[in-house]
Amino acid sequence: MGLSFANPAALWALLGLPAVLLIHFLQVKARPREISTLFLLDMLPEESRRGAVLTRLRNSAQLWCHLLAVLLLTLLLSQPRWTRPESVQSIVIVLDDTANMAAFREETLTQTRSEMRRLSGAAARSEWRIMTSDPGAPHLYSGEDLSAALAALDAHRPLLGLHDPAPALARARELAGPEGLVLWVTAHPPEAPPAGAEVLGIGAPADNAGFTGLRVERNPEGGHDWVASLLHRGEGEVTRHLQVQIDEQPPRAPSPVTLPPGKVVTLRGELPGGSRRGVLRLDSDRLEIDDVMPFVVPQPKILTYSLNELSEAQREWPERVMAVAPHVRPAAADAPAGLVWRAFSGDDPHAEDNGIFFYAGEERGTPGTVIAEDHPLVRDLSWGPFLGFTHPGFTTRPGDRVLVWSGDTPLVVLREGAGRRQLILLFRPERGNAERLPAVLLTLHRFLERLREAQVQYEARAFDARERLHLAVPAGAGELRIRHTPLQGEPREFTHPPGAPLYAPETPGFLEITRGDTPLLDAAIQFTDTAATDLSQADSQALPERVRLEQQERNSHAEMLTPLWFALLLLALLGGWLWK
């Protein structure tokens, strides 16, 4: 059984031992002298009136009683407890995975290990679980070996954007149980953490400057420019040095950049013709993840369309819609179109192509209250002001999804399946306000974007770290080959099933995806979560001493001989008074 103290501060009372010894050093033993007459008293030496001086320590029962009293008083005040040999404590440590924790890595390791060592003595056995606030990440450690648990902290690499830790803390509470301890290690301690977690705050407010975003756009000369935005969070101006590297060329000489506090600064630079990719770097500061920004020259997928089946009068509105839609162009005369526009006057377009079909027959329906369903194509769009007659003769097929209703009559229908996507507009666009209603135009553009993304076609673009990649691959395609080249570290290659979800890596760099010898994607992986790189609100918060004491009290029992020690204390005090 291990011995611990519920009130370790009382051990300072042991300083009473040297105090007692000092008092006994100062005592002077009286030496009686016999005299014959009282007048001889005036002849006593003058020094006999002086105070006590240090003398030889004399062994006496009174000395030992006083020393024993100090020891017993210290023992009673410190409240000794004996750890139960069968006691087990469950401790789950949740490390904040937000990127700003990387700025306080050394502090995190030092303070977390110190607290783990202190907590380990609160029970005979300790079950350790170390996890991060990323619910999808595996645990860093699970077991009873304290040394292995301390070493597992080195594997923590915080790279996430700003996120809610509540799911991870709730899971930690389930693992720890109602009497276990959940320790939340973060640089931004909350006032009331969820799941009954205790907080260990790491870090302090610090300045940080870095990239907030980067895009590549065409310039008036037909080339490309990179446009980067930077932000400095701190007091006073700061000068950093920017270095640009294009493709495999040697990096250009760094140039100074002055950043005012709290303001976004935009920088622009021209790219040489034929450039494919590049990296912008700032000289490193406390937080490095926002000091690098990779980019690729974008090459979007192009959606081709055909208006050949429309009359001259019917083409006017579709031409205006396609003129403002991004990344679309008319199909060549001898090439199939990815999208066709078609007017129909019957009860159903009965087409097998991808397309947008609008009603051009007689107006027979009575307008009703227009209500949009909860669907990505119409979500957050206001279809209520729509005015126009409906087509009541339309009958939906199995698998059709009505997106907008006019009363109990379908107004907009999405038909998907058998390798096709069709948007059916059951109204005449030129009658009513459909051509002027923003909700109509935005719904069409969302549908065009869905068709464009579904095309099996090469693309080059930028993604945020951990963003879901919606990659279109041919039916029956084999495994995808993926090459990830981080800006720091060695490239790695792996394969991925074409139907499984695919996410961008969590570290900035470049990603190449091919199927066989066919390239499908060149991507730049960027970290642009500015909230996750803000160090101005970081704060430290010590783990309360009551946490260890509560764990200790739960896993131990009080000293059984306390009444005996109290009785001995009284006897020691009485003996010290009697034996003078």
pLDDT tens digits for range 508-540: 999 999 988 889 999 999 999 999 999 999 999
221-237 pLDDT, tens digit per residue, is 889 999 999 999 988 89
Dihedral sign, Cα of residue 290, residue 293, residue 294, residue 300: positive
Read out DSSP for 108-174? HHHHHHHHHHHHHTTSSEEEEEEEES-TTSPPSEEES-HHHHHHHGGG----B-S---HHHHHHHHH
CATH level 3 topology of 459-526: Immunoglobulin-like (2.60.40)
How are beta strands 88-95 and 181-186 bridged, if at all? Answer: parallel
How are beta strands 480-486 and 492-496 bridged, if at all? Answer: antiparallel
CATH class of 88-205+537-554: alpha beta
How much is the average pLDDT of 2-21?
Answer: 65
**Strand arrangement of the beta sheet that strand 303-306 belongs to:** 328-330, 303-306, 339-344, 355-359, 420-425, 409-417, 401-406, 370-372
Contacts of 422 (CB under 8 A, 6+ apart): 349, 351, 353, 354, 355, 356, 357, 414, 415, 416
pLDDT range class, residue 432, cuts 50, 70, 90: confident
3-state SS, residue 38:
helix
Q: Return the pLDDT at 545.
A: 85
| CA-based max dimension of the chain | 150
CA separation for the pair 51, 97 (Å, rounded): 68
CA torsion, points 131, 137, 143, 148, in degrees to nearest 10? -80
pLDDT range class, residue 557, cuts 50, 70, 90: very low
Please state, as a whole number, how many other Cβ atoms lie within 10 Å of the Cβ of residue 332.
Answer: 10
CA separation for the pair 50, 27 (Å, rounded): 13
How much is the average pLDDT of 183-195?
Answer: 92
In 3D, which of 471, 529, 523 has the Cα closest to residue 295?
Answer: 523
The two three-digit tokens of residue 536, written as one number: 């101005």
Please state, as a whole number, how many other Cβ atoms lie within 10 Å of the Cβ of residue 220.
Answer: 6
Go through 542-551 and write b for each residue having 16 or more CB atoms within 10 A of its CB, e for each that does not.
ebeeebbbeb
From residue 56, how far is each of 67, 76, 370 by CA, in Å? 17, 32, 106
In 3D, which of 209, 164, 185, 172 has the Cα closest to residue 539?
Answer: 185
**If you average pLDDT over every residue of the chain, what do you get?**
86
- pTM for the full predicted model: 0.77
Q: Return the pLDDT at 39.
A: 55
328-354 pLDDT, tens digit per residue, is 999 998 888 999 999 998 878 888 889
For the chain, percent of residues with pLDDT exceeding 70: 82
Helix (H) or strand (E) holding 249: none
Instruction: Let me know if 126 is exposed, middle or buried by CB neighbors in 10 A (0-12, 13-18, 19+).
Output: buried
